[in-house]
Amino acid sequence: MSNEDNVNKAVDSLKTTISSQLTVFMGLKEKNPKAFYGILIAVFLPLLILMMSGGGSKSTVSGPTVKDLAIGQKYALKAPNTVDPSATVRLVPVPGTLAAYDDSEEDDRKAPCQHMPIGTPVEVMEFSDFGGNKKMFVKVKVLDGDCKDKDGWVLAIDVQ
């Protein structure tokens, strides 16, 4: 026997079973209407209750918010996607190149003025759009510390 024959037999058997059960159930409507309507209520009432209940409190997942940044304003670098207090924010020379860097090398992490600590004061200089999102990348100038006046690009979510 082929697979198609087996499938056809299974489908025919299922149709026969459903048809016979439906006939018995509809016959119950004539012979014993209390049982018929009792079964309907027992099946559909819980479904109706489930559909009507819930949805009272709309809890949404809260995440970091992107401020409406303005050129010339002063902000601080943040890393909202981490809880590590020693995390840093990377300054890159070209917007959108963050994913192109491999931070697995120690030398890369120790390069001067590439990894800025959280809380570093910066000034917004310009914006870059990406993937249909406005102000996705922000060019910032460091205002304090050893890297004062150094500029680079960061994600807008990292400037708050």
pLDDT tier for residue 25 given thresholds of 50, 70 and 90: confident
What percentage of the chain exceeds 70 in pLDDT? 83
Would you state the pLDDT for residue 24? 87
Instruction: Please give the C-alpha separations between residue 91 and each of 49, 59, 70, 98, 114, in angstroms, as whole numbers.
Output: 54, 35, 19, 9, 5
Task: State the Cα–Cα distance between residues 53 and 76, nearest whole angstrom.
Answer: 45
pLDDT over threshold 90, residue 8: no
What's the pTM value of the predicted model, to 2 decimals? 0.56
Would you state the pLDDT for residue 115? 85
DSSP 3-state of 43: helix
Task: State the Cα–Cα distance between residues 83 and 105, nearest whole angstrom.
Answer: 22
How does pLDDT run across 110-160, given as a tens digit for each residue?
677 888 889 999 999 999 888 778 888 999 999 998 889 999 999 888 898
